[in-house]
Amino acid sequence: MLNLIWLFLILTGIGVAAWNGRIDLVTETFFSGANEGVAVCLDLIGLMALWLGMLEIAKQAGLIRILARIIRPLTGILFPGVPPNHPALGAIIMNVSANILGLGNAATPFGLKAMEELQKLNSEPDTATDAMCTFLAANTSCITLVPATIVGVRVAAGSVNPTEIVGPTLFATGFSMLVVLLTDYCWRNFFRVWYRRVKR
């Protein structure tokens, strides 16, 4: 799947550039794209260290355990495969909280940490578990309470009411999160069972 998408992106990119007579752009773009990839990662090193350091303090202080206990009814439904006190849940909670507050650069460190912890529960290391799929679904569709970046852009563009989009954003993210998590839940619990039975 990913192999095909990647191949498609690169080959059509090269093809269109050649068609437009701007093949020189391709070489340039390859090199600058590769550098940008590493630059993003270098930026991430400091943030990862900072947030994972804070997370460790919160973990040792028992804060994560308290949070995990509060939302256990929910995590029990969404992540049945993860034991109630597993450190993965702490990282997932922090990732989702950061997403809700629009703290994009804090969300990625917690998200990567969550994946690492979820991988420890995985019996087939090269295949995604149900919990991973649910987590990624929650992460990409996550409710946004404070779309800080875009409000900043609107302020800069001289909007009369820069925050009028907060309500609509909350609605749209809330709706898509609900749809995605419900789909995931139904897929895990009903459809897949039915699908297997049909295949047999």
Partner 1 sequence: MIEQILNEVSRWAIPFLFVVFLVMGWCRRVPVYEAFIQGAAEGFQIAVRIIPYLVAMFVAIKVFRVSGAMEILARICAPVLGIIGAPAEVLPLAVMRPLSGSSALGLATELIKTHGPDTFIGRLASVMQGTTDTTFFVLTVYFGSVGIKRYRHAVGLGLLADITGLLASLFICHLLF
Using CB under 8 A as the binding rule, the residues of this chain from 109 to 128 that contact partner 1 are: 109, 111-113, 115-116, 118-119, 125-128
State the nearest-atom distance from the C-beta of 84 to partner 1, in Å.
21
CA distance 78 to 192: 16
Non-local CB neighbours of 78 within 8 Å, separated by 6+ positions? 134, 138, 181, 185
Map the footprint of partner 1 across residues 45-64, applying CB under 8 A. Answer: 45-63
State the nearest-atom distance from the C-beta of 105 to partner 1, in Å.
10
CA distance 101 to 156: 21
CA distance 185 to 171: 21
Pick the closer one to partner 1 by CB: 41 or 193: 41
Q: Does 175 bind partner 1 (CB under 8 A)?
A: yes
CA nearest to 107, candidates 175, 44, 172: 44
Map the footprint of partner 1 across residues 147-166, applying CB under 8 A. Answer: 147-151, 153-154, 157-166
Two structure tokens written together for 63:
């804060």
State the nearest-atom distance from the C-beta of 89 to partner 1, in Å.
16
Two structure tokens written together for 3:
């192999």
State the nearest-atom distance from the C-beta of 35 to partner 1, in Å.
9
State the nearest-atom distance from the C-beta of 76 to partner 1, in Å.
20
> Binding-site residue total for partner 1 (CB under 8 A)?
106
Q: Indicate which single residue of 70, 85, 168, 190 sits in contact with partner 1 (rule: CB under 8 A).
A: 168
User: CA 78 → CA 41, 72, 120, 148, 166, distances in Å?
Assistant: 30, 10, 18, 28, 27
Pick the closer one to partner 1 by CB: 30 or 190: 30
Pick the closer one to partner 1 by CB: 68 or 118: 118
Gyration radius of the chain's alpha carbons? 21
Q: Does 132 bind partner 1 (CB under 8 A)?
A: yes
